[in-house]
């Protein structure tokens, strides 16, 4: 008889069950989330030429994920034509500066004419020199003064033109240095060492270390979401943790392909190693009922549930209130402490004897 009882016991199916418990029922809008960098500028070429990656990034895509600092050189674009032009312009400018240090071509003639005019002024009154001779000397001195002034203007204009040319060419050479626009992480490299690139080509992407939460909800749910609402987040890399956040803004236009709306959230307890690209799920809390009976949502088949009492399966109809992915509010149909079946409900039927295996479920939520 004992042997029969043992055999019977082991042939009885096992039902995974969890206790009905009290907590806070939550009305929530479900959505998906993705961690995005706050800034992710694309770095483009400012001129055409052959690109040379800076040494820290010479590994190409193998360098993705490296730290970069604002202003750090990522690559240079060799422009040999501009380099030759700049070298010649600097040489021309230096030669012009050296020439400018010398007297102007007509300055010696002007000095001689002025000395002659001063001499004639002293003797013209004595009548030894005709007045017309003095006037001719005076005209010549004036002409030479005008010539010297013209030469000075031409010299200065030439110096200024050469200086402007050097500055423009230096600016062009400087733009050949491809620099990081922000502190952050190198997240993309779209070129290879030695490649010919054109002005405006996208070369790199740099992402800031500061991240934000980008959520998406369905069109039929977005009307319930308001800025300031609390949210609970589960990120796939942190399955055992629940994070809290709040809605900061709702983007006014839906994605034209999916018709889903973007919700921007700010995490209140982010993990230390939160990284862009992580994904997960969220519940934006739109209402709460405190101190109510909660049934694990996966125990429900629409409004039906199976409970196990004294080792026997019973069917119950549940009047459901608020519902989330984890828990549903049971208004009627069960009492606190009832054991509800969590899985394989289609393999069990009322009146069937079962063995119970208690399964741990997420802690029933409290007031957020």
Residues 6+ apart with CB under 8 A from 42: 202, 204, 205
> Residue 8 pLDDT > 70, yes or no?
no
Other C-beta atoms closer than 10 Å to the C-beta of 296 total 22
Give 301's DSSP letter.
B
Co-location of 224 and 239 in the same domain: yes
Instruction: Please report whether residue 2 resides in a domain.
Output: no
Co-location of 227 and 325 in the same domain: yes
- Contact between 339 and 309 under an 8 Å Cβ cutoff? The reply is yes
Summarize pLDDT for 20-46 with one digit per residue, the tens.
999 999 888 999 999 999 899 999 988
Residue 46 is predicted with a pLDDT of: 84
Range of the domain at 239: 13-37+210-358
Would you mind telling me the total number of residues written for the chain in this entry? 368
pTM here is 0.57
Instruction: Please report whether residue 160 resides in a domain.
Output: yes
Domains in the chain: how many in total?
3
Summarize pLDDT for 90-110 with one digit per residue, the tens.
888 898 888 888 888 888 888
Co-location of 143 and 282 in the same domain: no
- Contact between 287 and 332 under an 8 Å Cβ cutoff? The reply is no
What are the strands of the beta sheet with 49-53, ordered from one edge? 177-179, 73-78, 49-53, 196-197
Summarize pLDDT for 278-327 with one digit per residue, the tens.
999 999 999 889 999 999 999 999 899 999 999 999 999 999 999 887 89
* Phi, psi values for residue 271, rounded to 5°: -70, 160
Instruction: Please report whether residue 183 resides in a domain.
Output: yes
| Partners of 68 in beta bridges | 184
CATH classification at residue 61 = 2.40.50.100
Co-location of 320 and 307 in the same domain: yes
Co-location of 168 and 292 in the same domain: no
Summarize pLDDT for 64-78 with one digit per residue, the tens.
989 999 999 999 887
Burial 13-43 (b: 16+ CB within 10 A, else e): eebbbbbbbebbbbbbbebebebbbeebeeb
Instruction: Please report whether residue 139 resides in a domain.
Output: yes
Co-location of 157 and 115 in the same domain: yes
Q: What is the mean pLDDT of the chain?
A: 87
* Phi, psi values for residue 135, rounded to 5°: -65, -40
Co-location of 321 and 263 in the same domain: yes
Co-location of 74 and 219 in the same domain: no
Co-location of 67 and 195 in the same domain: yes
Co-location of 281 and 144 in the same domain: no
Q: Say if strands 211-217 and 261-267 run parallel, antiparallel, or are unpaired.
A: antiparallel
Co-location of 270 and 164 in the same domain: no
Co-location of 248 and 325 in the same domain: yes
* Phi, psi values for residue 298, rounded to 5°: -75, -5
């Amino acid at each position: 008889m004992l042997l029969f009882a043992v055999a019977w016991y082991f042939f009885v199916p096992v039902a995974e069950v969890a206790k009905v418990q009290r907590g806070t029922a939550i009305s929530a809008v479900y959505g998906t989330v993705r961690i995005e960098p706050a800034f992710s500028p694309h770095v483009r070429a400012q001129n055409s030429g052959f690109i040379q990656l800076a040494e820290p990034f010479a590994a190409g895509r193998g360098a993705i994920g490296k730290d970069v600092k604002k202003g750090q050189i990522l690559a240079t674009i060799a422009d040999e034509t501009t380099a030759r032009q700049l070298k010649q312009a600097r040489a021309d400018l230096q030669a012009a500066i050296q020439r400018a240090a010398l007297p102007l071509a007509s300055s010696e003639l002007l000095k001689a004419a002025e000395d002659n005019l001063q001499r004639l002024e002293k003797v013209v009154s004595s009548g030894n020199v005709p007045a017309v001779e003095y006037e001719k000397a005076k005209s010549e001195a004036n002409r030479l003064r005008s010539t010297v002034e013209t030469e000075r203007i031409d010299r200065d204009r030439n110096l200024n033109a050469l200086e402007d040319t050097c500055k423009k060419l230096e600016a062009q050479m400087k733009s050949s240095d491809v620099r990081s626009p922000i502190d952050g992480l190198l997240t993309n490299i779209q070129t290879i060492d030695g490649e010919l690139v054109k002005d405006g080509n996208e070369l790199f992407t740099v992402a800031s270390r500061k991240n934000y939460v980008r959520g998406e909800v369905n069109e039929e749910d977005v009307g319930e979401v308001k800025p300031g609402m609390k949210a609970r987040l589960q990120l796939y890399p942190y399955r055992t943790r629940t994070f809290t956040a709040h809605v900061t803004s709702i983007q006014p236009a839906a994605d034209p392909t999916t018709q889903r709306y973007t919700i921007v959230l700010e995490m209140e307890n982010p993990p230390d190693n939160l990284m862009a690209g992580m994904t997960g799920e969220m519940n934006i809390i739109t209402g709460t009922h405190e101190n109510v009976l909660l049934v694990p949502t996966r125990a429900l088949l629409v409004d039906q549930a199976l409970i196990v009492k004294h080792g026997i399966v019973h069917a119950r109809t549940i009047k459901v209130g608020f519902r989330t992915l984890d828990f549903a509010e049971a208004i009627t149909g069960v009492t606190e402490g009832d054991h509800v079946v969590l899985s394989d409900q289609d393999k069990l039927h009322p009146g069937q004897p079962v063995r119970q295996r208690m399964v741990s479920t997420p802690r029933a939520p409290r007031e957020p």
